Amino acid sequence: MARQKRQFCPEADALAEKLGQTILRLRTADKLSLGDLSDMSGVAKSMISQIEKNETNPSLATLSRLSLALGTSVEAMVSNDDGPDALVEKLFIKDIPLLKSEDGLCELRIIGSIDTVQWLQWYDFKAEVGGVLESSAHPDGSIENLSVLTGEITVEVAGQSWCVKSGETIRYKADREHKLTNTGTTPAHATMVNILAQLVRN
């Protein structure tokens, strides 16, 4: 008995088209080429291109590999939610600027948005034992917030000093020279947020 041709289903075709558009949008947002996504997912470039153009019906296994590479889920990719995209920006480690202290023992990753840098600066700070990070004064009225995740950091501002340990947060005036030193016996890790108050008021 001859196998009957599958009837056209507009709902399924619309879902396949949406899936292709979603994969293309996520790949573009992550600044990935077809080759990049292929290397990350193990799915052939030609297959990804066909999926994005709604020229093929991918298997669940293929969709699963693509969703993992794009940092989402199969359910999210086929969701019928047509609301605005919640993703503002996704950065890979290579896209995040890295600064190092003069002694080479401290590193500062700039994880704050470039759109807010004039009034809000957000950093990921790491220091080896004995590492010192010296900073010049920020604009008048600025406040720096340091939260130590692991280790121990001593903060020095204008002749005063405070020891901040894992789990503790300190806020201090940063409109004068200040210095962070890992005075512990293990590497230290902290988050740092600078609020440039003068620029906010102007």
Q: Which domains does the chain have, with CATH numbers?
A: 10-78 (1.10.260.40), 93-195 (2.60.120.10)
Share of the chain above pLDDT 70, in %: 84
**Res. 15: pLDDT tops 50:** yes
Q: What average pLDDT does this structure show over 80-89?
A: 61
In this predicted model, what pLDDT tens digit does every residue of 161-183 receive, in sequence order? 999 999 999 999 999 999 999 99
What pLDDT is recorded for position 82? Answer: 52
Is the model's pTM score more than 0.85?
Answer: no
**Res. 72: pLDDT tops 90:** no
What pLDDT is recorded for position 186? Answer: 96
What pLDDT is recorded for position 58? Answer: 82
In this predicted model, what pLDDT tens digit does every residue of 85-116 receive, in sequence order? 667 677 778 888 899 988 899 999 988 877 77
Share of the chain above pLDDT 90, in %: 42
* Cα–Cα distance, 69 to 66 (Å, whole number): 5
What pLDDT is recorded for position 92? Answer: 79
What pLDDT is recorded for position 76? Answer: 74
| pLDDT band for position 1 (cuts 50, 70, 90) | very low
| pLDDT band for position 197 (cuts 50, 70, 90) | low
Lowest-pLDDT range of 57-66, 149-158, 163-172, 192-201: 192-201
